[in-house]
Structures are given as C-alpha cells and as structure tokens.
Amino acid sequence: MGNCNTTTQDDKNQSDVNFQIQRQIEIDRRNNESTIKLLLLGAGESGKSTVLKQLKIIHDNGFSDNDLLSKRNLVYGNVIQAMFFILSGMHKLKLAFASQSSQEHCRLIHAIMAKHAETEPMREHIYVALKELWTDKGVQSAMSRKSEFYVPDCAQHFLDSLDRINDPNYIPTTQDILFLRVATMGVIEVRFQIKEKIWRVFDVGGQRSQRKKWIHCFDDVRALIFVTAMSEFDQVLMEDGTTNRLQESLQLFKQVCNNKYFIETSIILFLNKKDLFAEKMSQGRSLRIAFKEFNGPDNYESSSRYIEKKFFMANEVPNKSIYCHHTCATDTKQVQFVLDSTLDVILSSKLKGCGLY
C-alpha cells in the first residue's frame, strides 16, 4: 500500500517536472520567435562599431550625458594618437617641420605615447603643442599624402576641433562619439525593440587575434551585416604592415560567407567609408593598388562596382541572399535610411521563415 502511494507521488512529481520543462520550452520558443539576433562583422577599423553606435542613436535612445562625459578621456587619447601617427608618417616620408618649435612638440607627443599617458586630461602645454603641430606646413604636407601611411580616420575631425576639445567644460558630442576609435575586444551587444520584435545586435572584435573567439558562437543569428571599408584599397594592415586591407577584408568575407555556421544566414554587405573612397578616386588613386587585374576607369562608379562584384564572387553557397549598400557610417541620416531598409529585409526573412509572411 505504502509502495503504491510512493509510486503515485513520484509520478505526480515527475509530471510536475515535465510540465515545467514543457512550459519553459514554450516560453523559450515564444521568446525566440520574438527575438532577432543580428551579427556585425568586419575587419578592424572597417566602421562596424560605428554602425552599432548608429543603431543605438537611432533605436536605443542614443547616448546619455553620462555616456558622453565618460568618453572624454578616450577622445583625448584619440587626439594624441592621431598626431603620433601623423608624425610617424612624416618620418617615413622624410618630411621636415616648417617650424623649429615643432621639433620640441614632436618629442612631447612621443614622450606621452611612451608613457601610455595619452588618455589623461589635456593640459595647456599639450594643447599648445598639438595646435602648433597641426598648423605646421610639414604636418599638413603629410596629411595631403595620408594614403601613404597609417593615420586613423578620426584625425581630421578631432584635430580640427582642438579648441572645442580643450575647453575645460568640454563634453563630447554625438558626432565625436561616432568618430571615436576604440578597438572592439570581445563582444558588445545593443538591444532595442521594433514592431514587437526584440533585436539583439552583436559587435565582435575584427582584429585577427579576436576572430577565432567568435566564429562558432553565433550559429543561430538570423542575419549578419558585414562591413568593409572601400577606402582602404590603398592601405595595409597595422598587424603586419604588408597585407592590403581591402584584400584582407575580402578574404574574411569569403570565410564568413561560406562558413558552415552561416550557410543559411542572409548577409547584408556594407561597402563603408564611401566618402573617403570618393575622395581618393578624385585624387587619382587607382583600385589597381588592390586588384591589379582591374582595367576600368579610375572613378567611383566603375571602381565601386568592381569591389562589389569581387565580394559577390566570394560567395560559394547557391541561392544565398546577399544585399549590398554603399555607406558612410558617420552620417546618421544616410545610415538610418540604409539600416531601416536592412532591418525590413531581415524582418521579412524572419517572418517568412516562421510562415507568417
């Protein structure tokens, strides 16, 4: 009799456990149906983190005053680093300073970098050094040849804004945050809601050392945005100093596009930094620096079409959905238009997959 009661109680307990499991499965299923995971990929400095910032600005209430204030020292760091790379470029190009005092200022910048103190508040003597260096004709000559050495894209923006940044009450603007360069280490996530769908967007490190950490972690993403910088066709990687940046990005795209984890994943290709690309084309730079076989005219239309073609040809998966946009990630208005179109495409794909569209 006692055994019968024990068995009945065990059955009831197991039934309760089964019910809870089924209930959790149903909750997870509903959550999964209402959640869309989107992955942001690209080589280092392609602009993908800027795209994530734009998503936060457009769909996640942007940056609070505290967010902006917390980035102030990082802006100081970007200013010092930008000048350091320009000075290094001058040395490489064997360009001389126009002013004798610039030599002393140059030594100061190198000393700050050597001490890793570039993110400290900008003191008056540092501001004076940066200001005089930025107006030095030798420095400006180097900037006119910036395609011949590495200089971060933020350099012009921040160095043109030295007076504003030096203000004791300086608070970074949203535009400053968009130009701010901080290497992505690990994974950064932004969440927002559109049309009853929760969007989870992941930005992962693009440097070579970071890539192996993420490739297998996102096999359940609905779509991925791959960002490449068109303007880097005439630049080499910082990591090795020899590999063409656009070629590296193309190889990474090929690996991602044909990876077993992303076989059924739609890809949205952002050919980014179109403004810088157009500037280089107008200056007579040739896409043959990256692709020797290119035989078209050296203009934006022909060269950008060829880049687009090279990326599409990298796909080896039949019937894979790939969409392409030319972008300038620091232009919020343009990016909002592209992102709205992109999210609509992904949402339509999600609903079709669920049989709801």
> Which residues belong to the annotated binding site for GTP?
45-50, 178-184, 203-207, 272-275, 329
C-beta separation of 36 from 197 below 8 A = yes
Tell me the residue type at 141: S
Tell me the residue type at 121: P
> Residue 274 half-sphere exposure, CB side, CA atoms within 13 Å?
20
Backbone phi, then psi, for 209, in 5-degree steps? -65, -20
Residues of each annotated binding site: 45-50, 178-184, 203-207, 272-275, 329
Known catalytic membership, residue 50: yes
Give the whole-angstrom CA distance, residue 136 versus residue 100. 10
Give the whole-angstrom CA distance, residue 46 versus residue 206. 8
Considering the candidates 181, 222, 248, 327, report the single residue annotated as catalytic. 181
| Closest to 342 (Cα-Cα) out of 108, 38, 42, 28 | 38
Give the whole-angstrom CA distance, residue 177 versus residue 74. 10
Tokens of 216: 């297998």
C-beta separation of 95 from 141 below 8 A = yes
Known catalytic membership, residue 81: no
C-beta separation of 266 from 223 below 8 A = yes
Give the whole-angstrom CA distance, residue 30 versus residue 350. 14
Tokens of 87: 């000075």
Known catalytic membership, residue 203: yes
Known catalytic membership, residue 316: no
Considering the candidates 135, 207, 255, 336, report the single residue annotated as catalytic. 207
Considering the candidates 118, 136, 153, 203, report the single residue annotated as catalytic. 203
C-beta separation of 128 from 167 below 8 A = no
| Closest to 280 (Cα-Cα) out of 335, 230, 227, 332 | 230
Residues of each annotated binding site for Mg(2+): 49, 184
Q: Name the 3-class secondary structure at 348.
A: helix
Known catalytic membership, residue 181: yes
Pairing label, strands 223-229, 322-326: unpaired
Question: Which residue is listed with tokens 């992962």?
Answer: 204
Q: Name the 3-class secondary structure at 16.
A: helix
Q: Max alpha carbon distance in the chain (Å)?
A: 103
Give the whole-angstrom CA distance, residue 58 versus residue 140. 35
Q: Which residues are catalytic?
A: 45, 50, 181, 203, 207
